[in-house]
Structure 1
Amino acid sequence: MYLTQGLHRAVQRTPGRPATIFGDRVRTWAESGERVARLAAALKAVGVQTDDRVGILAHNSDIYHEYLLAVPWADAIMNPVNTRWSVAEIGYSLRDCDTQVLLVDDAFTSIVPQLHDVVPLLRTVIHIGSGPVPEGALSMEALIAKYDPVPDARRGGNALAGIFYTGGTTGRSKGVMLSHANILTSAFGMEATRQRVPGGSLSGGRVLHVAPMFHIAGCAPWTESMTLGRTHVYVPRFTPAGVAKAIEQYDVTDTLLVPTMIQLLVDSEAAADADLSSLQRLTYSASPISESVLQRAMDRMPTTEFTQVYAMTELGPVITVLSHEDHADARLRRSVGRAAPHCEVLVVDEQDRELPRGGIGQIICRGASVMRGYWDLLAMTADVLRNDWMHTGDAGYMDEEGYVFIVDRIKDMIISGGENIYSAEVENALSSHPAVKSCAVVGLPDEDWGERVHAVIVPAGDDRPDVEVLREHVKQFIAGYKAPRTVAFVDTLPLSGAGKVLKNELRARYSPRES
């Protein structure tokens, strides 16, 4: 199994069909294959050798698509860089895995001199934008024009495909090492859950890439779509109007959105009148979705099939899938579905013993999609990979039918007055109030209770809801001791590149400071 396999098949079967669409630029599979082979030749010409890391710092585009294929074509390893990081964080990721060649688009040309300062080993920068080429950088288009295509190395199997740095939601960002087999196994497992192939053939369907491609949430649907020969439609970044326009203009059949994107889309005036009827399947992942947001989305797109995926970078990424059919059961909507076909899932206690159904413990997973480890972090790898099982750090339970329900990140569990409180259940209760647009719940130090439940709320309107009204509302659904003791109101919640709430930032922001 190798990531470029889908490209070869598409070039052979449907060379004249659109491979990528980015704005007004459309490239066929034949054109895409030619450009990938030439870019791979250019990478080798600038000194990229087997197993070298090649980075990219860019927003979503058809060029990103070519990078994802050209790097393994040249027998190298991808390092997609988080576009939301500071120069210091970007520099850390490049130094950490010794990335010496970096592709940058127009949005990041201004920081190239700073990157050279913080990454002394960065020897080659390749400009992939349409603006002026930065001083000392090479033009990708000039390189493609200069070098003849080279044969595909057909790098695959257990060879590293990429190093994907985590968003740092729980601390230091870690480089997750994923092989071709890891990523493709997850893609095949996801495909196996589908009822049918879009368009009735392997070349049917158009997928809209909205989630950032540097994250596995962007890369995973790209991989699945490559194996099916779908056309890839790219928008640089998420905006409700931009996504709605792209779906309507390009007859998009498939996309993946994180819950925050879904909420902004269905509540957007700009998207209210758009024709979204071409969208056959919407997959959502990365964080929990409130029942009210999910229902509004299903009402807005009644002919769209909704699928939820529980995933993490370390697992390539799919763990469990909640099918469209499962969404018909209101109880199951609070679950993340059942184990995907390619993996085993258990809920275990602190000694890794499987718990009876309904018992809350840590969710662990085993299968061919499990990462090879964290880059240069042997002890941390050994801590989470034990006896071939990946320990997710998520707390949850499994019902009698095998559906998994997540209650919290283990590190996010709040212990108040000796009672375990899971932030997800408090967030679900709060989100059901019409005055709450979105929220996050964290535990803060408390002299009397050890920790107290603190809610950070984005109001749905211009006025802040009354705190006591919210507390009483929550108590209709959960025990009184779980209701927030303190509340803060904000305009937005801090999010990672994948759309997850950065609870470590909230804890740091609202924790009392020692005098």
Structure 2
Amino acid sequence: MDVTPVPETSGGPPAAASRQRLHHPHLRTLVQTARFHAEHRPRTPAVLCEGRTLTYGQLDRESNRIAHAIRAAGLGAGARVAYLGKESEHYYEILFGCAKSETVLVPVNWRLTAPEVSHILQDSGTELLLLEEDFVPVVENLPAGPPKTVVRLGAVDGFASWKASRPDTDLPSQATPDTPVAQLYTSGTTGLPKGVVLAHRSFFAIRDALASEELDWIDWRAGDIALIGIPGFHVGGLWWATQNFNAGVTVVSMRAFAARDAVALIRGLGITTACVVPAMLRMMLAEPGLSAEDFATLRKTVYGGSPISEALLEESLAVFDCEFAQIYGLTETGNTAVCLPPSDHIPGSPLMQAAGRTYPGVRGKVIDDQGRELPPGAVGEVCLATPARMVEYWGLPDRTAETLVDDWIHTGDAGYIDEDGYVFIRDRIKDVILVAGENVYPAEIENALESHSGVAEAVIVGAPDERWGECVHAFVVPAPESPPTPRELHTFLVRRLASFKLPARYEFIDQVPRNPSGKILRRELRDRFWSGTERKVN
């Protein structure tokens, strides 16, 4: 892989991260972030991507042009702007352009199929779609057709000319910390993804919480070069990028994660911090010829998105030889609400099984099925109250009211909080499956399977998987007149579901187990794979 060194910056930070922690408490919105760093460190690289460099000065100017172009397209405050493409410097130009125009960015998972993309565009009411060339065929096959305006990033007279003709001056902005800035889609229990609306405060609250107590659980230092392993359509990737922008350090953006490229970037660019999911750690550790020298410049690795095994964590600690911080949260909590700090990463310690502790200003509790708070050590549903929490599920007030109750986010995870305030996750209350950090809900796959003429009924559960954490296991009751084969079902689903949602295994059964009232005993099917394990998440 071709790795271009970080450019020199006149008067900028040193090549290696110093001990100077960076916190700019006066920055409360992404609009302020872009303008402040353009003024104070215009030549410092903001984004490195495939040998290209976007400085903070350029990021500010280009996002100004995009903001003017959005306004010229007739979009007012609160309008939705979707991006369908892989990671690049343009994605962040668009993010800040939306912030400055007070529109809401809807990043679309580029692995989704045309019907899945169509639902997101229709549900969000997207008026403007910014589209990479690789995904033009997807948009050409949208069941409901494309949005009103589509701008192609690689086309002649496309994105470059669309923004180039606009002024690079600031737009007047009325954005506040409570102004919506992003809408991310998470799979739904009914089979249709829900739009989680996040305000600017979601990207500043945890930073301020850490600074308020001078905690270095996760910190940003002068000279940091931060790798983003998690894609920007995922709240973890978007949150990590904005934290580094708010600090004014350099972000290294990967078009899509590949273990070999990640190792080469860490070694070649002298990367100091990284944010990944456990599956990415496993893939990097499996790279041929890997040695601790490859990670010599890393000072901190932040990981989350799915539980991690103690064996993988201990191997990562030994090989990476840097500080590790685990984060736990949901899109609905604005990403991280709980952290296992580096000081608690002690091989053999019981805390290695914990999700961590809540940040200052974030509260945690565990409740029973009647909503009553449980004492320390008792297992129930974990609930979190955080200033970074979502605004709402877009257009779904009833669903919002179910998840967000009196400022508490009901996570759907079963666990307990010990006497010292550490959160332990033990199971799931909702039926979500975590595949390499991606949320997958059974209902969506079951609906797709049952639309096949050869399927009478389908039940989806999560099973342990050594590489991806969990995988999708399909129980299928075949139609007697035309029973399908696993290959036929796979071919059928490929056109309807993203690859990470596809079942890894199919098991044909005569009937679905149910209780006397007819409810599917999903837990009975799922427990076959998890019996004998203390933690029923992987």
TM class by shorter chain equals 0.7 to 0.9
Instruction: Look up the match of 1:27.
Output: 54
Any idea what SS the aligned residue of 1:359 has? coil
1:272-294 deviation line (CA, Å, top 9, x unaligned): 58621111111110101111111
- Contact 1:306 1:323 (8 Å CA) reproduced: yes
Counterparts of residues 413-432 of structure 1 (less than 5 Å): none
Give the 3 Å change call, closer, same or farther, for CA 262–196 of structure 1 in structure 2. Answer: closer
Give the 3 Å change call, closer, same or farther, for CA 459–107 of structure 1 in structure 2. Answer: closer
* 1:27 shift after superposition: 2.0
CA distance in 2, matches of 1:322, 1:170: 32
- Contact 1:5 1:227 (8 Å CA) reproduced: no
* 1:182 shift after superposition: 2.7
Give the 3 Å change call, closer, same or farther, for CA 8–228 of structure 1 in structure 2. Answer: same
Instruction: Look up the match of 1:322.
Output: 340
Instruction: Look up the match of 1:51.
Output: 78
Instruction: Extract structure 1 runs of 4+ deviating beyond 6 A.
Output: none
1:85 to 107, 112, 119: 112
Any idea what SS the aligned residue of 1:4 has? helix
* 1:171 shift after superposition: 3.7
2:176 to 151, 156, 166: 156
CA distance in 1, matches of 2:301, 2:388: 23
| 1:311 correspondence with 2:329 | yes
CA distance in 2, matches of 1:248, 1:216: 26
- Contact 2:367 2:381 (8 Å CA) reproduced: yes
Partner amino acid, structure 2, of 1:80: P
1:127 to 152, 157, 166: 152
* 1:186 shift after superposition: 3.4
* 1:109 shift after superposition: 2.2
Partner amino acid, structure 2, of 1:296: E
- Contact 2:209 2:361 (8 Å CA) reproduced: yes
Any idea what SS the aligned residue of 2:237 has? helix
Partner amino acid, structure 2, of 1:398: I
Unaligned runs of 5+ in 2: 1-27, 435-439, 443-458, 469-492, 513-538
* 1:455 shift after superposition: 4.8
1:249 to 268, 282, 286: 268
- Contact 2:139 2:145 (8 Å CA) reproduced: no
* 1:139 shift after superposition: 1.2
- Contact 2:366 2:381 (8 Å CA) reproduced: yes
Partner amino acid, structure 2, of 1:259: P
CA distance in 2, matches of 1:362, 1:161: 29
1:403 to 409, 422, 433: 422
CA distance in 1, matches of 2:73, 2:418: 55
CA distance in 2, matches of 1:511, 1:360: 34
* 1:268 shift after superposition: 1.4
Instruction: Look up the match of 1:512.
Output: 509
- Contact 1:186 1:316 (8 Å CA) reproduced: no
Percent identity of the aligned residues? 30
Instruction: Look up the match of 2:409.
Output: 390
Any idea what SS the aligned residue of 1:118 has? coil
- Contact 1:322 1:336 (8 Å CA) reproduced: yes
1:454-479 deviation line (CA, Å, top 9, x unaligned): 9555589xxxxxxxxxxxxxxxxxxx
1:245-290 deviation line (CA, Å, top 9, x unaligned): 1111211111111011110111111645862111111111010111
CA distance in 1, matches of 2:243, 2:233: 16
CA distance in 2, matches of 1:102, 1:272: 43
Instruction: Look up the match of 1:2.
Output: 29
CA distance in 1, matches of 2:191, 2:267: 40
| 1:258 correspondence with 2:277 | yes
Any idea what SS the aligned residue of 1:315 has? coil
CA distance in 2, matches of 1:2, 1:320: 23
Partner amino acid, structure 2, of 1:35: E
Give the 3 Å change call, closer, same or farther, for CA 221–193 of structure 1 in structure 2. Answer: farther
CA distance in 1, matches of 2:41, 2:195: 36
Partner amino acid, structure 1, of 2:148: R
Q: Structure with the greater relative contact order (CA < 8 A, sep ≥ 6): 1 or 2?
A: 2
Partner amino acid, structure 1, of 2:357: R
* 1:320 shift after superposition: 0.5
Instruction: Look up the match of 1:210.
Output: 229
Partner amino acid, structure 1, of 2:279: T
CA distance in 1, matches of 2:217, 2:151: 42
CA distance in 2, matches of 1:240, 1:272: 14
Instruction: Look up the match of 2:9.
Output: none
Any idea what SS the aligned residue of 1:353 has? coil
* 1:514 shift after superposition: 4.1
1:166 to 186, 196, 207: 186
1:338-374 deviation line (CA, Å, top 9, x unaligned): 0112311001112222211110000001132221111
Instruction: Look up the match of 2:199.
Output: 179
- Contact 1:363 1:393 (8 Å CA) reproduced: yes
Instruction: Look up the match of 1:340.
Output: 359
Give the 3 Å change call, closer, same or farther, for CA 212–345 of structure 1 in structure 2. Answer: same
CA distance in 2, matches of 1:106, 1:391: 39
Partner amino acid, structure 1, of 2:324: F
CA distance in 2, matches of 1:217, 1:164: 11
1:111 to 138, 141, 145: 138
TM-score norm. by structure 2 comes to: 0.74
Give the 3 Å change call, closer, same or farther, for CA 19–106 of structure 1 in structure 2. Answer: same
* 1:387 shift after superposition: 2.0
- Contact 1:101 1:124 (8 Å CA) reproduced: yes
Partner amino acid, structure 1, of 2:108: V
CA distance in 2, matches of 1:238, 1:409: 28
- Contact 2:218 2:325 (8 Å CA) reproduced: no
| 1:15 correspondence with 2:37 | no
Any idea what SS the aligned residue of 2:69 has? helix
Counterparts of residues 457-468 of structure 1 (less than 5 Å): 457-458=465-466
